[in-house]
Amino acid sequence: MGLPQLKDQGFCYAEYQSWGSQDRYELIDGEAFAMAPAPTIPHQNLVLHIATQLKRALAGKPCQPFIAPVDVLLPHGNETDGAVRTVVQPDVFVVCDPAKITERAILGAPDWIVEVLSPATASRDHIGKRLAYEQAGVLEYWLVHPIDKVLMIYILEDGAYGKPIVLALEGETPIAVLPGLVIQWPEESLPVEAE
């Protein structure tokens, strides 16, 4: 099913749900973005590497890890669920407020989000999603660059992300908003995605 004709006010979650599951989209301020074809195996291996550590570290704790595809609704103001115009599917994320977790989606900002960059989505992850996460109140946002082997960390302070902390993907990296949790990077070379 193709994307419906764009309306002046853009799309909302109620319309997004009617598009069916054959094609995957994200909405950022009502604008629909087609998800790239299925991620590469190296991309998914890195997502699994991060998610597996989180699953073990958070076992029995109130915070829960998730991996895409899970709809995350980021409302502006008092938007009702169906009227939400920003719906994303982060690669890996953690939600510490159980009230945000429903059977179908996450309603509100996760505490921590990781996007593993691929050439098809890097620009949107760096610009559109970063701004959406900042506005929604995501406390910590990581951008993993597997090709350059670099990690960019944005931490929300006074409602805004400042300059990113830039680190090499080596050793371990603590998660600021989840005290005591670290992500161990693989000792072997990270897989490189085709350009």
Domains for the chain: give ranges and CATH numbers: 13-184 (3.90.1570.10)
Q: Give the whole-angstrom CA distance, residue 85 versus residue 179.
A: 32
The pLDDT tens digits of the residues spanning 140-187 come to 999 999 888 999 999 999 999 999 999 999 999 999 999 999 999 987
Q: Is a pLDDT exceeding 50 seen at residue 126?
A: yes
Distances in Å between the Cα of 46 and the Cα atoms of 4, 16, 50, 73, 83 are 34, 28, 6, 24, 34
Question: Which helix (H) or strand (E) covers residue 56, if one does?
Answer: helix 41-57
pLDDT recorded at residue 145: 92
- Tell me, what DSSP letter sits at residue 119? T
The structure's pTM equals 0.89
pLDDT (mean) for 78-103: 93
What is the C-alpha separation between 57 and 39, in angstroms, rounded? 25
Percent of the chain with pLDDT over 70: 89
For residues 106 and 66, is the Cβ–Cβ distance under 8 A? yes
| Dihedrals phi, psi of 147, to nearest 5 degrees | -70, -45
Question: CA 112 to CA 182: how far, in whole Å?
Answer: 12
Cα–Cα distance between 36 and 114 in angstroms, integer? 17
